[in-house]
Structures are given as C-alpha cells and as structure tokens.
Amino acid sequence: MKHFRILTLMVITLLLFNCKDNNNSTVKVITPDEMQTLLELEEVQIVDVRTPEEYEHGFINNSQNIDFMSPTFDEDIAKLDKSKPVILYCKSGGRSAKCSEKLEEAGFVKIYDLEGGITQWQFEGREVKTFE
C-alpha cells in the first residue's frame, strides 16, 4: 500500500510540473465551425503559414500568406496588428501550432489555430479560393 501511495504521488507531481497550463495561453485551437463563426462575428486577421506554392493551389478567402519557413517570417508577422485576433492555418496543423507559439511570444492578444488546417477545412466542405 505504501508503494501505491508513493507511485500515485509521483504521477501527480509529474503531471503538475510537466503539463502546460492551457488556461493562461492566448492560443486557442479551433474547429472549422468555430472559425466560421469567428469570421462572421469578429474582425480577424487570417494568416496562411504555408509556402507560396502551397498557397497558390488553394487558400481560405481573405487570408494572407506569411510563410513560416521564410527567413523574413519574424519581420512579416511584425506587420500584423497585435491587438486584433489572428487565425492561423497551414496544411494540417503542425506549422500553425509552431507559429502560434511565436505570435504568443511576440505579444499578440488573441491567437486562434485552425485544427487540422486547410485539409480539415476542405474535408468539411468549406470553400477554398485559387488565383484562377
């Protein structure tokens, strides 16, 4: 019984010290439905963090392309309004998650990360624009 208590105490301690407190984060992961609602209710900045080549093949309406892998990425995001909400997306969510951390460090107030990226957006039947 003593070993069980020690093991339980160790697990609780690990959980407390290793888990990020998401309640204090300015980043919120949102579904395509939640994003659609935000687009209808708030004035938001939509940022596609994929490469320009990926962006050309299809993008969410009113988004701007700021390539996360670009050497000028930090300068490019500095041009955004930190006081306005920002919605980030990429192909499937990996790059936008990394980008959201950078925006949070840069002092952005509200950051939304589209869960599943443009892939999920399209899968749910939402419109994507092209340059055609």
- A 10 A CB-CB count for 30 gives 17
Residue 42, pLDDT score = 85
Radius of gyration of the chain (CA): 18
Q: Please give the CATH number for the structural domain made up of 22-123.
A: 3.40.250.10
pTM: 0.79
The predicted-structure confidence for 95-114, as pLDDT tens digits, reads as follows 999 999 999 999 999 999 99
Domain extents in the chain: 22-123
With a CB cutoff of 8 Å and minimum separation 6, the contacts of 2 are none
Residue 13's H or E segment, with its range, is helix 2-18
CA-to-CA distance for 9 and 1, rounded, in angstroms?
A: 12
- Of 2-6, 50-54, 56-60, 94-98, give the lowest mean pLDDT range: 2-6
